[in-house]
Each structure stands twice: as C-alpha cells, then as structure tokens.
Amino acid sequence: MFTSTLKPLPRSISMRANMVKPKKISFMKSPIFSIFLLLLCHTHAIAQKPSKVKLVVGIVVDQMRWDYLYRYQNRYGSSGFNRLLKEGFNCQNTYLNYVPSYTAPGHASIYSGTLPAIHGIVGNEWIENNIEQYCAADKTVQSIGGSTKAGEMSPHAMKTTTIGDELRLATNFRSRVYGIALKDRGAIFPAGHSANAAFWFDDSTGNFISSSFYGNELPHWLQHFNAQKWPDTLMQNNWETLYPIVSYTESIADDNEYEYLRKGETTPTFPHKNSPNNYKQIRSLPAGNTLTFQLAKTLINAEELGQKKETDMLCLSLSSTDYIGHAYAPNSVEVEDMYLRLDKDIASFLRYLDYTIGEGNYTIFLSADHGAAHNTSFLNDHKIASGNLAENDVEKELKALMKKTFGSDSIIRAVMNYQIVLDEPFIEKQKLNRATIKNALIIHCQKTEGIAQVIDLENMYQNNIPGFLKEVIANGYYASRCGAIGIIYQPAWYSDGKKGTTHGTWNPYDTHIPLLWYGWGIPQGETFGRVGATDIAATLAALLHIQAPNGCIGNVIEMKK
C-alpha cells in the first residue's frame, strides 16, 4: 500500500500544538488520492464515450400539436415526455414552412430536409397528367404478406433522398434503415428509397406487410410477429379511461355534440367497445400506438439494430393519434387519454433502448407531421369566429358556375389540397380561354364566405397577399401535381364537417409542431428561435458527419446548454 508522510508543521505552529508528531496517512484516504480517482474516472468516461451513435430513432407523432407537451404535462409520468423535456433539447418554436399541412408531405419533409416544391410529395393525393394518384401507390410492385391494394406501395413518387438514404450511402450500405407505421405513407417516405425495409399495417389481415420494392418475402421474425396476432390481444378489452374520468379536467364533458360516433355507439362516450376481428378499428385506439412500439422493439431485437459497427436508423411513425384526433378533436377526453397512454408507451420504449442499446448510445428526435384545429362548432359556442367549407361543396359550386358561364362542368377536374385543379385536356380540346376561366373562378371564390385569399398559383408573386403566405404556398407548389388556383381559408375555417376536426392550413394550430432531441450528442437545453421541420434532417446529417439529403434546404439547429 502506498503511504505518504506529511511534512512537519512549522516550529511556531507545532509548539502551540504541543509538539504533536506528524502522522502517517494512507494515500488511499488522502485528498490527493480522491483527486486522482476523479481524474481517472473522467478519463475513463471520455474513453468509453462512443465515437459515433449506435442507433438513431425518429419518432413522428401524427397530428400532435405542440401544446400537447404542456397541456397534459402535469399528468405525464417522469419517464416519457417529461424525460425528453427535462433531459433533452427542446426546440420550442418549430413550424412547418409550407402548405398544405398533411401527413405525407410532413413525413417526407422531415426526413428529406426539403419542401414539397422539391421532393414532390404535395399531399396525400394529387392529380398528375389528369389522373388522381395516391402518394405512395405503385402498380409496378407487388404486395408482400398482405392484400394486393394495401401492399402496392413504394417511395417512387418522392424525388429526393432522405437522411436514411444518405446514411446508407455514407456507409456503403452497411447501416440498416427501417420504417414502421400503421399508415403506409408514415413508414415509406421516412425510410426512403434505399431502406432495408418499410412495414405498415393491413386492415384486412391484421398483419404488418411490405412490398416487393423492399424484398420478395417478409423476414421470418415479422412472420412470427404476425402469427402472434397482437391486434387480437390488444383489442380484447374495451377502451376505458386510464384514470377516473372525473380527473380529466383538461377536456370538455365526455358526452358532447362535437365528436363522431363510432359504429354501433349511440353516444361518443367511454367505454368505447371494440369489435372482434375489426382490425381497422385498432387504428383509432391507443392500442395502435402500443402495437407499433411492440413491432419496433421486435425489429430492433431481431435485426440487432445498434449492435454493429455502423450507425443504424429506425423511422417510427405513430398513426393512431391522427385517427383519434380527427374523430374527437383536441378538447376531448379521448385525446387526453390517448396522450397519457402514449406517454407510458414512450417511457417503456426508452427503458427498452436503455437496456438493449445502452443509455447514451442512441439518439432520438420526436416531432409531428402536422397539428390540428379546434372543432369549429366548439369555437363558435365560445364566441370565437370559425366555420366549415368542405372542398366537395366548393367543387360542386364551381362546377355549376362553369356550366352556367362556359357551358360545361368538366372544366373543373377537382378541388383538393386547398387548390382548384382544371381539366387541362378538356379545356384545350374545347379551345376555351383558360385565362378567362381562371379569372372567373378567382372572382367567385373571393366572394365566398370563409375564404380569405385566392391565389393564381402560376403567377404567385403577382398576388396581393402577405409575403410569408407567398413563401409557404410557393414552398408547397410542385407544378405538375398542383392546381392552377390556391385557396386560403379564414383562420379557424377548414375543409371538413362539423364533427371532429382536421388540418391542412398554414395557421399555427396546424403547423406549430413539437421537436424534442435526446441522447448521444444532444445537450440539455432549449431554444425559442424559429426552427423549420426541414432543419431536422440537416441537423442529423451534421450530427452523423454525413452528407445532407440531396434536396435539403434546412439549417443545422444550434444546440447550446
């Protein structure tokens, strides 16, 4: 054992101390040894810190408004949302910087770091070459593991790479990248073109499926997962509130007139009964989020994500939040209960990552593809101006106008994505004056209640509208997939019925989204500076030391304590 003899005290002091002889003190008990241990431990910690992150997990919560982080915060536990809020980095002022604010463009923009004007995903559906198309539909591929219609999907319509694609390219395709969601578009666009696979839910079978774009058969572990019939297990019990319903003080009364009725129900109230073998129903239950997390854990274990030399990535989208939000609107007991349950699912998932990957070895970001408006009838009942203007009704009215003025209602191909799409082949064949048609449509829409602005999308910067509106509209404009005329609704107006809610506009309730970072490379802190959804991929690229996606326009978020 090392020992050290202290030097004798100065004589003048030692005499006052009755000439006490110096003692021998164990080096291991000395202050010097304590400092030595601290330095040793610090050096060891630095040596043990991984040089690169093992696993990146993106969590996109479909239709999560930013304020849900705080509206229910006192009811969240300490290990879910609050763990991310308190230990991670919070971008408080994150916005979508384009319209329309829908699911497909939201996911594509987050992971590509660019805009619909560049990546081409302008909505969940659009019309191109006068043909209506679903964003992920691809007739050149075959369904793998499920029904034909549900499986004929791929990311072919997206014109840019994603951060996952760039990770694969940077590691000569050794990094593994996967996408998971109940919605096909929520799994496919985040995963990108070169992903190992994307998996989504098939209502007709209750299984997670894929397409031949990714391979010729489902992996054996997924076949085994499907055989366990998790949806049946999760739907055994009816949906009841997690806590006594009287405690849901952040919500309006459970029995109200603003919510849609589920099939077989006479009131939109708890408990909500589940229908056996109705697999579509799990989309509209908190259990749908639980199912998605269960698959994520199974995939991480089976594919050994985060266990090899290169960084892996899992793109996880939670779709049930959107289905429930549409049906019940933000002020409902259902939405509150869903987020309290989601908080527990997130806590469980974080514990799983701590155990399998190791705390400090993974990086998470949590965000949303869009938000949601308050129900319009609810707002009106509280003296806040609001209203509904369904695109189908606008389309009927405009077709009637075209028939009366120009002799045919075929001039209008559709009203969708808050845009008027003309039937260009018909107009050309009939030799009609296109400019006159557009002018008539603009003048009529300007007089329609609920419409604030009408924009000539083909001459966007000649419109007399605020500059920021021109910017977000231009950011969402991809010429071959967009209409000739854009419509901006008044605040708190939207295109849907009087029950539930929807999204799609530029307003903060639709575009202000959460953005939390946590884990490897992430300091604890927050910023109130303006951040765009397109900044997420740029920041990940910088963090991973790889090239940004090939259409990326985002900026790297500066994270400081």
Do the Cβ atoms of 161 and 78 come closer than 8 Å? no
Assigned token pair, 286: 């908190």
3 state SS of 4: strand
Q: List the beta bridge partners of residue 199.
A: 180
Amino acid identity, position 200? W
Assigned token pair, 544: 């991973």
CB count within 10 Å of CB 533 equals: 29
Catalytic-labelled residue, pool 5, 43, 94, 103: 103
If 0-12 CB within 10 Å is exposed, 13-18 middle and 19+ buried, where does residue 366 land?
buried
Give CA–CA dist 520/50, Å, rounded: 9
Burial 24-56 (b: 16+ CB within 10 A, else e): eeeeeeeeeeeeeeeeeeeeeeeeeeeeebbbb
- Identify whether 508 is preceded by a cis peptide bond (ω within 30 of 0): no
Residue 103 annotated in active site: yes
3 state SS of 529: strand
Burial 144-163 (b: 16+ CB within 10 A, else e): bbbeeebbbbbbebbbbbbb
Instruction: Give the catalytic positions in this structure.
Output: 103
